[in-house]
Amino acid sequence: MKKKVYITNSIFLNEGFNDVNLRDKNIDFIGKMCITTIGKLLESAGDIEKNVPVFWGSAYSCLNSLHEFNKVCEKSGALMVNPSLFPNTVLNSPACRAGIHFNITQPIYNISNGSSSGLDALGLAYMYIANGEIDAAIVCAAEEESEIAQKIEGKAFIQSCAAIYLSAQKSDLEILEYRKDYAKIMLLNEEQPIYGSINALYQIDCLLKNYMRESQFDIECIIDSYKTTIRLRCYGGKNDRNIES
Amino acid sequence: MKNIVVTGMGVLSTAGFTLEDFWQTLYNGRITYGIIDEFKDSPQYRIKIGAKIYSDKWAQNLPQKIIDTYGKAACYSVSASLKAISNSGIDLTQIDKTRIAVVIGTTMGEIEVEEQITKLICADIAVNDILYKKYPTFNIVKAIADVIGAKGYLFAVPAACAAGNYAVAVAKQLLDWNYADVVIAGGVDVFSKVAFAGFQRLLSLTPDLCRPFDKNRKGLVVGEGCGIIILEREKERKNQNIYGRILGIGLSSNAYHMTAPHFKGDGELSVMKKAIDNSGISIDDIDYISAHGTGTKANDRIETLAIKNLFVKQSLPPASSIKSMLGHSMGAASILEMIACLLMLQKNIILPTANYEAKDEECDLDVVANKPRKQKLNCVISNSFAFGGQTSSVVIGV
């Protein structure tokens, strides 16, 4: 018997990441993005268990920090790299920076599934709660804007970070299903050029904050022929706003 | 709940490209690292030793389209996956492809592609779009899925040096919860100049040999490779070739430091306890420890402390680290060590820690030194600890 899984809180940010005052000056920008966003999520969530597993999605993760580190190596030589910045070059670094900051001793699952990274991080967290392995999870997705990421992606995108608190505690938004198959893409809102991996969590943030009429939604992402779907049910309770669907 | 069994394995390592070569290299205690050609005459590399694959024979089983389309990490992963599928005897025409999942761990993904891009940018040379498209980390799982035809759940799971164990943890859950029938799981990293430069500046590299748990150990050796295993539920397919069972997994975060192990080994101890608890066995049942054993002062001392805090009332089982021969293959390390454990379970032989000469009182484990040891093995534990404080242990049984 699967447990029901609910989204109890969410946050979406695309600015204010440098406002956070950190003792460790070696934390890179995407690390700050995660710390800022998860911090605001935990603040807004009130009396909840904070030491829970983290499921973190990002297509490019710390690519910018890695690239800058490597440029020093390439231009000035291997002996000139700053060893304090070396930890920022591993792909699990941003989420682990946040885990250390918030004293999280639970596992941190990093997902790098291109533009479906956020959706897959959410889906994997859903599986872990639905099957009774864990009671709650923090789901986060982040993409840092950088010249190299944009060149690889072939287009510009707004750097942003989103986080969601997921648990078996009843709320107005339930996850019904997470699946992989084939079909066309459907997004609720394409007003902002947010990178795909954040988009799913952004849509959920919009749903939670603005559109809570009783209804059912699919949030989908397609990479080549691989389609990821999260099916949601809203139970109503808030004013609805006109969102393309 | 059914047992999760390993039914196929594929390796791509400095120790060999086949399971037989991999075993023979490690059994004979052969060192697979040496002076890196490109560092030999460079004053920027005071340390010259690394474990790099120079032969291109590893690519012989790859379709040319894969070589042209993807970076080296994806190509390594496809090559090892094809070997693992072949080793498992799975007939892909008889399997529902929507029930095949792929979960691969890595530290730096397509780092060699990034290094090529950076080199061109720093030289003011235009970068070809084809090269840019080879970078995304997701390519690693997508390439495997494309070649195998897998249409189930796909996850690229970066978790630094514990990445292979994290991939197996997710894979096991997908099977336990019946989201897949077959999971291709593993870990990969290619030789990285960035990793080498970073570890050199952290003073973590040995100038000569990797000597885990030895009093005179001087550090780790940067390496590369890929290991892939095929996981299934036991008895769900005819003629399963069972190498071993994934009995239990423990994952944790140190919440302490990005590079240093916890000073009391708390995270390291907690994952071993979790893995044993999840296995439903007792501590006494552990016959052997495949140590993380990087050969650095800090890791080996703290890992010893954690192991001794686990086996408080029990006698210490033998331990060894094949990193003494392979170097540290980063995202591939934990899965190559798991494959070595599975082979040890099959053969009832413990692979040695090479280069072990002087006992360190702070690392007073029963180190299987320099020569393999014959011993009946039913249950072993494999440790991997990573940057970011990501710790992991896996209990594997016959």
Q: Is B161 a catalytic residue?
A: yes
Q: Report the SS3 class of residue A244.
A: coil
Two structure tokens written together for B111: 């780092």
B319 belongs to a structural domain: yes
> Does some domain include residue B242?
no
Under 8 Å between Cβ of A143 and A61: no
A98 falls within a domain? yes
In a domain, A192, yes or no: no
Place of tokens 């032989």: B349
What is the band of A150 on the pLDDT scale with cuts at 50, 70, 90? very high
**Is the same domain home to B44 and B192?**
yes
Whether B207 and B258 share a structural domain: no
Single-letter code of the amino acid located at B334: S
Task: Please choose, from the candidates A44, A8, A1, A3, the residue with its C-alpha nearest in 3D space to the C-alpha of residue A235.
Answer: A8
Q: Tell which of B183, B211, B233 closes a domain.
A: B233
Q: B165 to chain A: nearest residue by CA?
A: A109
Range 114-143 of B in CB contact (< 8 A) with A:
114-115, 117-119, 121-122, 127, 129, 132-133, 135-138, 141-142
- Window 108-147 of A: residues touching B by CB (8 A cutoff) are 108-114, 117, 120, 124, 127-128, 131, 133
Host domain of residue B342:
247-397
Please check whether residue A145 lies inside any domain of the structure.
Answer: yes
The C-alpha atoms of residue A80 and residue A69 are separated, in whole angstroms, by 10
**Domain ranges, residue A121:** 5-172
Alpha carbon distances (Å) from A118 to A243, B103, B136, B143, B345? 21, 16, 15, 20, 39
Structure tokens at A199: 């988009």
Q: How much is the pLDDT for A191?
A: 52
Give the 3-state secondary structure of residue B164: helix
pLDDT tens-place string over residues B144-197: 999 999 999 999 999 999 999 999 999 999 999 999 999 999 999 999 999 999
Counting the structural domains of chain B, the total is 2
Ordered per-residue pLDDT tens for chain B, 398 residues = 789 999 999 999 999 999 999 999 999 999 999 999 999 999 999 999 999 999 999 999 999 999 999 999 999 999 999 999 999 999 999 999 999 999 999 999 999 999 999 999 999 999 999 999 999 999 999 999 999 999 999 999 999 999 999 999 999 999 999 999 999 999 999 999 999 999 999 999 999 999 999 999 999 999 999 999 999 999 999 999 999 999 999 999 999 999 999 999 999 999 999 999 999 999 999 999 999 999 999 999 999 999 999 999 989 999 999 999 999 999 999 999 999 999 999 999 999 999 999 999 999 999 999 999 999 999 999 999 999 999 999 999 99
- Is residue B136 located within the same domain as residue B251? no
If you average pLDDT over residues A31-43, what whole number do you get?
A: 97
- Pair of tokens at residue B390: 């990501």
Residue B42 placed within a domain: yes
Q: Which of B104, B87, B78, B105 is closest to B18 using CA atoms? A: B87
| CATH code (residue B87) | 3.40.47.10
Say if the Cβ atoms of B160 and A92 lie within 8 Å: yes
Chosen domain end from B211, B233, B255: B233
Tens of pLDDT, residues A180-192: 874 433 444 445 5
Question: Is residue A135, in this structure, part of any structural domain at all?
Answer: yes
User: Residue A70's domain is classified under what CATH number?
Assistant: 3.40.47.10
Q: Alpha-carbon torsion B223, B372, B5, B247, what sign?
A: negative
Residue B372's contacts (CB-CB under 8 Å, 6 or more residues apart) are B27, B29, B349, B350, B351, B352
Has residue A47 been placed in a domain? yes
Q: How confident is the model at residue A235 (pLDDT cuts 50, 70, 90)?
A: confident
Residues B228 and B254 in one domain: no
Is residue A236 a part of any domain in this protein? no
- Residue B3 phi/psi, 5-degree rounding, is -65, 145
Q: Where are the alpha helices (DSSP H) in chain A?
A: 29-45, 63-76, 93-101, 117-130, 147-153, 196-210
| Residue B241 placed within a domain | no
Q: pLDDT at position A241, please?
A: 40
A216 in a structural domain: no
* Co-location of B108 and B208 in the same domain: yes
pTM (2 decimals)?
A: 0.95
Give yes or no: residues B201 and B343 share one domain. no
Q: Say how far apart CA B118 and CA B125 lie, in whole Å.
A: 10
Would you say residue B148 lies in a domain? yes
CA angle, A194 as apex, A234 and A126 as ends, to 5°? 40
Residues of A whose CB is below 8 A from B166: 107, 109
Residue A196 forms part of a structural domain: no
CA distance B349 to chain A (A): 32
Residue that is last in its domain, among B233, B265, B281: B233
Residue B23 located in a structural domain: yes
B-chain residue closest to A55, CA distance = B157
Asked whether the beta carbons of B72 and B229 are under 8 A apart, the reply is no
Same domain for B204 and B270?
no
Binding-face residues of B in 218-257 toward A, CB within 8 A: 251-257
Q: pLDDT-based confidence at A212, cuts 50/70/90?
A: low
Q: Verify that B65 and B199 share a domain, yes or no.
A: yes
* Candidate list B292, B341, B363, B379, residue with the active-site label: B292
Would you say residue A63 has pLDDT above 90?
yes
Q: Specify the number of domains making up chain A.
A: 1
ipTM: 0.97
Q: Please name every residue paired with A55 in a beta bridge, in sequence order, or none if there are none.
A: A109, A139
Q: Among B285, B289, B322, which Cα is nearest to B307's?
A: B289
Contact B202 A83 (CB under 8 A): yes
Q: Catalytic residue at B328? A: yes
According to DSSP, the β-strands at A108-111 and A54-57 are parallel
